[in-house]
Amino acid sequence: GKGGKNRRRGKGDGEESKRELEFKED
């Protein structure tokens, strides 16, 4: 559930955000 919110932010944040949502989704 939380991953969804981070996913949208990752696009604007950058690489670090993408990594966080990646392991969070798993």
The full set of domain ranges for the chain reads 1-26
- For 1-26, what is each residue's pLDDT tens digit? 555 665 555 555 555 555 566 655 55
> pTM of the full predicted structure?
0.12
* Residue-level pLDDT at 8: 58
Angle formed by the axes of helices 15-25 and 2-13, nearest 10°? 160
* Residue-level pLDDT at 11: 57
* Residue-level pLDDT at 5: 60
* Residue-level pLDDT at 15: 57
Which uninterrupted H or E stretch holds 24? Answer: helix 15-25
> For residues 10 and 6, what is the distance between their CA atoms, to the nearest angstrom?
6
The structure tokens 């990594």 sit at 19
